[in-house]
Structure 1
Amino acid sequence: MTELDDALRLEQSGTGWTGRLSDDWAIGEAINGGLLMSLATTATARSSEAAGGHRDPLSFSAVFLSPGTAGPVQIEPRILRSGRSMTTAEVVVSQPVDGRDVERFRALITLGDLEKYAEPVLRTVAAPDIPPPDKCLSAQDAPPSTLTKSGFLKRFDARMDPATVGWAVGEPSGQGEMRGWLQLADGAQIDAVGLLLALDAFPPVSFDLGSVGWVPTVEFTGYVRGIPAPGWLQLRLHTEHVAGGLLNEDCQIWDSTGRLVAHSRQLASARFPTPSVE
């Protein structure tokens, strides 16, 4: 069993599923949202099977209400419609806190058969030209910090394009873009469900704009467009609008063949240094 398989392990409980979140997938004190999305999708796909539905995520749209923490987690999917080509469900993820259930997020998920939608490709986005993984900088090269010591980053082999890592040494470019490569540290291949995790695996693009501290997700919408071929995933994150402490962050993922396999947009809250007044 891979590390990700273990993190996504579930047991049926009443009308839903139970799992356990580990600090191994935390950034600071919060469990990465991408892991929660993959966990919710896994539970929904298993519930969908019982309804004669589908397994592959096509779309995922969630509103995040509170950060997940290490400990037991409850996932309650509700199948809204199961047709011949797609299954749509609502899912609620919660955790017990001081004797009451605290909702972490609520999402709408559409499941289907990705192979059915793989071809023909009529229009797509090409991956940017960046240095190969062995010419990029890994997290191991970054200066020690709370971020680099997180359990979550140890689960991945992430390589950043040197042109987009000035923020790590206190020199953000101000372009609002990050590029690089990603694979699981244990060598396991990332599947369609794992792409939801990968969409939220890189540092926030707001770091390249001088943001400081935690950058919580308010809302996330992701699309999976194909089952990734084995090998490195290539990621590009960028933002086109930042105002009032909120920003839109777009992420695109290509597999080792150069095919776009996932993309997303999230609304996130970020803190920026207050300009000094002379």
Structure 2
Amino acid sequence: MSEFDEAITTTGPGDDGAYVGALTDEWGIGEAVNGGLLMALAARATGDASQRAGGHTDTLSFSGIFLSPSSPGQIHARPTVLRTGRSMSSAEVVVTQPVDGVDVERFRALLTLGDLDRYTDTPRKSVIPSPTAPLSECMSAGDAPPSLSQSGLLKRLDLRLDPATVGWAVGAPSGHGELRGWLRLQDDREPDALSLLLALDAFPPVVFDLGSQGWAPTIEFTGYVRARPAPGWLQVRTHTDHVAGGLFNEDCTVWDSTGALVAQSRQLGAARFPAT
């Protein structure tokens, strides 16, 4: 079993409908566990609950509000299937962690589920991959500052950033608010629909390219899985077009090795900037 599949494995459902998993700091960034991993775990549990109810299993859309940072330890995902239709199902999932005997809510999300194989026709309109330096010219996570490269998450990922977008790592952000690069899992597990949720939240915060420092927590996240990715590297672009009052939006686009768009997202995050 790959590291990613092991990390999103749950048991259940229990009598209370909960799927129980375990988080570790191997997927941590700072003091929190990566939100993309949590979304993939929750989506997997929700897909299982939907299938048990006669519904669909593939996540088509995921819209969640993050209420508190998750930490290593036991995690509970409680899906509720709201509707099962012919082509799509709707569900809610609430994710909690027991802390000192109290269930603390980490996030809750609404999901639309379906069958991605229904949507394999040629797109009428799509987003072409952004110009990105070839892999051989990109900088790996091992080249990152110790504050980032020592995170458990970056040890699980093979992440390569376009040199034109990494000036922030040496104290010279470009000010464009954009990151571009390539991504795959470090153990060479091929991408699939669930791992795309991880990919949408795997890059460093885009506001680093604007001089932001420290943790940039996600407040709200909305993502779309467009297609099953082909084997190979994923190409990723993140950018922001509005930063004000300590809040920013981050848009992410993911293409597979064939150049097909496979996932998109927008999230609202909080950022800190040095005093001027």
TM-score, scaled to structure 2: 0.98
CA contact (8 A) 1:118 1:225 kept: no
Match of 1:2 in 2: 2
Give identity over the alignment, percent.
62
Cα distance in 2 for partners of 1:190, 1:262 equals: 12
Alpha-carbon RMSD across the aligned residues, in angstroms, is 0.7
CA contact (8 A) 1:138 1:157 kept: yes
- SS of the aligned residue for 2:136 comes to helix
CA contact (8 A) 2:47 2:57 kept: yes
Match of 1:77 in 2: 79
- SS of the aligned residue for 1:81 comes to strand
Cα distance in 1 for partners of 2:18, 2:47 equals: 12
Match of 1:255 in 2: 256
> Shift in Å at residue 68 of structure 1?
0.4
Q: Deviations over 1:208-260 (max 9, x none)?
A: 00001100000000000000000000000000000000000000000000000
Q: Deviations over 1:112-163 (max 9, x none)?
A: 01111121310000001212112111011223x2211000110000000000
Letter in 2 for 1:191: D
CA contact (8 A) 2:183 2:236 kept: yes
Match of 2:216 in 1: 215
Cα distance in 1 for partners of 2:178, 2:131 equals: 14
Letter in 2 for 1:66: S
Structure 1 window deviating more from structure 2 (195-204 vs 110-119): it is: 110-119
Q: How does 1:1-278 map to 2 (within 5 A)?
A: 1-12=1-12, 13-14=14-15, 15-143=17-145, 145-275=146-276
Q: Deviations over 1:143-195 (max 9, x none)?
A: 3x221100011000000000000000000000000000000000001110110
- SS of the aligned residue for 2:172 comes to coil
Cα distance in 2 for partners of 1:61, 1:134 equals: 35
- SS of the aligned residue for 1:115 comes to helix
Stretches of structure 1 lacking an aligned partner (at least 5 in a row): none
> Shift in Å at residue 51 of structure 1?
0.8
Stretches of structure 2 lacking an aligned partner (at least 5 in a row): none
Cα distance in 2 for partners of 1:16, 1:82 equals: 20
Cα distance in 2 for partners of 1:206, 1:97 equals: 31
CA contact (8 A) 2:143 2:149 kept: no
Letter in 2 for 1:82: T
Letter in 1 for 2:3: E
Cα distance in 2 for partners of 1:95, 1:141 equals: 34
TM-score, scaled to structure 1: 0.97
Cα distance in 2 for partners of 1:92, 1:51 equals: 18
CA contact (8 A) 1:16 1:76 kept: yes
